[in-house]
Structure 1
């Protein structure tokens, strides 16, 4: 089948994932208006709304899909794409004929257009322009560019970046962002055309206005798919290309860059000032650095100010100056200390790197202890340097500050490598016992003690601790699952007790949980040799719950 269409059902499943693929199978009959062209297939799929779908197979055999549904707009190969792909595969034997017919239609259209008299062809174009506003805007821009009508070019470029036609109540939803991005990309094309036509100076000016316009509106666009961000990147590249061609005033360019990069913390652009080094030259770079330093001194904690200063200093290779920039605003999370440590290590100064990391650990606030990236860094370095006891000390302090299961595991891993876990474990568990004694188990705050004992494989102690009234229902279920093979008589009452409150609740998720608990209870009865007792219990439960038809279906699906 693959020889006909260029992809297989396996390809669809791989791109969509199991969930979307399974859901897409249910939309096969919702596919209509399937069209076949050379390298792509398009169709409509009736979902919550009617969605437009296009599947493309490039020359290298790579499959991709686009859909107008919200999930598809985020760049995902959605269930509607799966449905169209399956529809194509179902008609695979007819695809070669359809492709041949499409190619014939394309050639026929080309020949017909070439045969039309000039006036008739113009009339046809005018007719399409009147019907298609998007086409009209694009052609108006091209016409203005060709006749060098700069005011109209400017007006059309900025009009293409206006999101108003796509906005509801002043905000562009994700489903409309892709269409807006397609329109905005026409502005990028126009700017690049200006540069290639020898009018780079105008392209520089217009690109800056366009970037400012997109910058102002980006906050009001749901760009989950990244399509508008891609246009912003292309717009930034078009401006850079124009600068390299036009060679604008270096000092003025530096001042514009500073305004552009420092204008807002909410930025659609990912502009690297160092990319402009050719256009800026020595004088421009010096001016940009002066402006960056002034802004940074006024606001050392500002994200934009710090980024610009860091990037400019890093480009010089002066590590000490870069460290000074980082050190001016140290984060309480230890992230800045860790960044400094990595910079020093990369510069071949491991001793200083370790000192900064140790300083960061000392200054780390308590909520960020117990598994921080800074602790990970130090433990790796201590272990590599043959200082496992120091690494264990870091993990011990982290666990004491933040007594979570994750911090317990890290301490256990480190202490085992150090050969001291048998000594560390009792003290760690005692801290967790103190925590458990001070708090009552709740669904959102299970005692870490029981989780730690289960994680250690110490099921006997975990069970005894749970019997003391310190376990949540979820922990009881975990314990029952773990001990039912060897202790079915202990596990069985847990399953039956957990079923009781669920009888009063409806919903498929609840029904699945009842089935799961019943399977556990059945396994216990099997091991105890009391299958008839389970059969009687199940019969009574079915009779009691018979009005819940969906529950009966779920039980049937599980063979209960």
Structure 2
């Protein structure tokens, strides 16, 4: 198989999955080698089906029905299958050739059979394979237009009863149930394709309702049923396009569906049906949307339906009314309205809504920061720079973070007011730093702000007075190694000491980096002779950590 190498398996899986795959070599069974594909069963937490093919990146692709594999990952089971195949070595080309010959031989034999012989063969298979028989029965009922038989079979296929343990379909059985639901979907599409779109439309609606009721009792971790729900909606749409149902009846169904629980599964957008509804159907849909929204102005489904029909009609005022009836306390809805008005070419109204959002927020610390950014941009564009500064100052006062400090600085610099604003902002941060308890990982914002300003000396003084976290001390030392080597050396030694008690390559890499900085500080101080005994003692004390010593050797330590 092209691309099947240990290096490619490792590259596709990643180091962790590759290493875990080594532990599953004895769990691979039933290896079936084809011309371009290899399949097998791998026994893990459950029994999984794995397949490798030569049509992916590096000439190799894989698929597995384990949870990790269903997310599109190259899993440990595929690694185990690949390594098992590689272990067969020289026999692999011979197996592929044999598989190709078997397939060609089977095709040639089938091609030589008469119609009666083929029918006899198929009847034998039907007698032995109940699932095959049921699938073919459904296809036959669909082909002859036997709607009662198709409906009965669709209901049977969507019944969770045969798979449910104590009323719930567990993950191990969910795939089999999803496969049956997929058969129902195929039958509906076949109805439309055979000229019975009206029947397919009716059955699709029933299938959506049944599947929505069933999905709550199925472990759909891999999303198969969710996809089938979306595909059912597409099948219904296709059937409606072909059948051209009464537009007013379709509008009533769409409104009821969007407002009902089944839409959680299918996620139907009524505007997708605009070409089928036409103006008569859209008129009814708008009327139903308005009635539903007036009855429940804060309902999610009611708002969604009203928003969609308002958007379809280009009715910005109706859309604004929907949003305004349920304003979020953090100002997000005000921002949505402002953007809609901007898009409609009504910037003055948009600005008023954005300003209203700021006024109506009780706690500016909880504001949707996108609203602050939006309003600040509008002030800047209108050359209302003092108002942008005021907005950023108020936001910084409520949420004193490095980001809000930077945003205040940018606004104040644009207005040529940064010096005064900076003193007030730093005073707030100093007060915060004095009140805060010291933390190893969460130092004062004051230190970050001073470093961001490039005021390293002030940052050193603040860190000495109020404390700093390890990240801040390291940044201070890195930025001061040339000008303040003695201070930087103290920091590096202090940070290195706890790392000497840790194990693992991540800790070793950090320690080696600090050792290089310590050596550099001694060089700037003119005391390289002091570094040699320090690192010698360290190597002696850490002699059991072979990876650490190897890393030190590689860096000349």
Query: With structure 2 as the length reference, what TM-score do the two structures score?
Result: 0.82
Question: Quick one: structure 1 residues 242 and 476, their matched pair in 2 at CA, closer, same or farther if it must change by over 3 Å?
Answer: same
1:205 paired to 2:202:
yes
- CA shift digits 1:62-97 (9 cap, x unpaired): 986433232221133556667878999999999999
1:260 paired to 2:257:
yes
Question: Quick one: structure 1 residues 185 and 140, their matched pair in 2 at CA, closer, same or farther if it must change by over 3 Å?
Answer: same
Specify the SS of the correspondent of 2:383.
coil
1:402 paired to 2:399:
yes
Question: Quick one: structure 1 residues 418 and 367, their matched pair in 2 at CA, closer, same or farther if it must change by over 3 Å?
Answer: closer
Specify the SS of the correspondent of 1:268.
helix
Aligned to 2:348: 351
Question: Quick one: structure 1 residues 212 and 385, their matched pair in 2 at CA, closer, same or farther if it must change by over 3 Å?
Answer: same
Question: Quick one: structure 1 residues 265 and 358, their matched pair in 2 at CA, closer, same or farther if it must change by over 3 Å?
Answer: farther
1:336 paired to 2:336:
no
Q: Give the conservation status (yes or no) of the 8 Å contact 1:265–1:304.
A: no
Aligned to 2:447: 450
Specify the SS of the correspondent of 1:398.
helix
Question: Quick one: structure 1 residues 476 and 102, their matched pair in 2 at CA, closer, same or farther if it must change by over 3 Å?
Answer: same
Aligned to 1:557: 551
Mean CA deviation greater in 497-506 or 407-416: 497-506
Mean CA deviation greater in 59-68 or 227-236: 59-68
Aligned to 1:139: 136
Aligned to 1:489: 486
1:234 paired to 2:231:
yes
Q: Equivalents in 1 of 2:482, 2:48: separation in Å? A: 52
Q: Equivalents in 1 of 2:102, 2:510: separation in Å? A: 57
- CA shift digits 1:201-249 (9 cap, x unpaired): 3212221121122323445556565544332221101111222333434
Q: Give the conservation status (yes or no) of the 8 Å contact 2:334–2:354.
A: yes
Aligned to 1:184: 181
Q: Give the conservation status (yes or no) of the 8 Å contact 2:64–2:77.
A: yes
Aligned to 1:312: 309
- CA shift digits 1:345-382 (9 cap, x unpaired): 22121221122112122223425557711122122222
Q: Give the conservation status (yes or no) of the 8 Å contact 2:167–2:217.
A: yes
Where structure 1 has 5 or more consecutive residues not aligned to the other structure, the ranges are none
Specify the SS of the correspondent of 1:66.
strand
Where structure 2 has 5 or more consecutive residues not aligned to the other structure, the ranges are none
* RMSD (Å), alpha carbons: 4.2
Q: Give the conservation status (yes or no) of the 8 Å contact 1:5–1:89.
A: no
CA apart distance, 1:12: 8.8
Q: Give the conservation status (yes or no) of the 8 Å contact 2:429–2:445.
A: yes
Q: Give the conservation status (yes or no) of the 8 Å contact 2:306–2:322.
A: yes
Q: Equivalents in 2 of 1:211, 1:373: separation in Å? A: 38
In the TM superposition, what are the counterparts of 1:213-232 in structure 2 within 5 Å?
A: 213-219=210-216, 226-232=223-229
- CA shift digits 1:173-212 (9 cap, x unpaired): 7787666545433222110111122222321222112112
- CA shift digits 1:437-458 (9 cap, x unpaired): 1211225643111121222222
Specify the SS of the correspondent of 2:63.
strand
Aligned to 1:430: 427
Q: Give the conservation status (yes or no) of the 8 Å contact 1:219–1:266.
A: no
Aligned to 2:105: 108
Mean CA deviation greater in 502-511 or 209-218: 502-511
Question: Quick one: structure 1 residues 444 and 195, their matched pair in 2 at CA, closer, same or farther if it must change by over 3 Å?
Answer: same
Question: Quick one: structure 1 residues 128 and 275, their matched pair in 2 at CA, closer, same or farther if it must change by over 3 Å?
Answer: same
1:363 paired to 2:360:
yes
1:270 to 267, 272, 276: 267
1:536 paired to 2:550:
no
Q: Equivalents in 2 of 1:107, 1:93: separation in Å? A: 23
Question: Quick one: structure 1 residues 50 and 212, their matched pair in 2 at CA, closer, same or farther if it must change by over 3 Å?
Answer: closer
Q: Give the conservation status (yes or no) of the 8 Å contact 1:5–1:88.
A: no
Q: Equivalents in 2 of 1:481, 1:175: separation in Å? A: 54
In the TM superposition, what are the counterparts of 1:137-176 in structure 2 within 5 Å?
A: 137-162=134-159
Q: Give the conservation status (yes or no) of the 8 Å contact 1:41–1:54.
A: yes
Q: Equivalents in 2 of 1:172, 1:458: separation in Å? A: 63
Q: Give the conservation status (yes or no) of the 8 Å contact 2:9–2:18.
A: no
CA apart distance, 1:427: 1.4
2:64 to 56, 60, 67: 67
Q: Give the conservation status (yes or no) of the 8 Å contact 1:28–1:87.
A: no
Q: Equivalents in 2 of 1:164, 1:488: separation in Å? A: 75
Aligned to 2:464: 467
Q: Equivalents in 2 of 1:137, 1:367: separation in Å? A: 63
Aligned to 2:282: 285
Q: Equivalents in 2 of 1:126, 1:108: separation in Å? A: 21
Q: Equivalents in 2 of 1:168, 1:381: separation in Å? A: 59
Question: Quick one: structure 1 residues 220 and 536, their matched pair in 2 at CA, closer, same or farther if it must change by over 3 Å?
Answer: farther
- CA shift digits 1:397-450 (9 cap, x unpaired): 211111111111222223333333233222111111111112112256431111
1:193 to 187, 190, 194: 190
Question: Quick one: structure 1 residues 364 and 326, their matched pair in 2 at CA, closer, same or farther if it must change by over 3 Å?
Answer: same
Q: Give the conservation status (yes or no) of the 8 Å contact 1:370–1:407.
A: no
Q: Give the conservation status (yes or no) of the 8 Å contact 1:369–1:398.
A: no
Query: With structure 1 as the length reference, what TM-score do the two structures score?
Result: 0.82
Specify the SS of the correspondent of 2:264.
coil
CA apart distance, 1:126: 5.4
Q: Give the conservation status (yes or no) of the 8 Å contact 1:370–1:401.
A: no
Q: Equivalents in 2 of 1:375, 1:539: separation in Å? A: 56
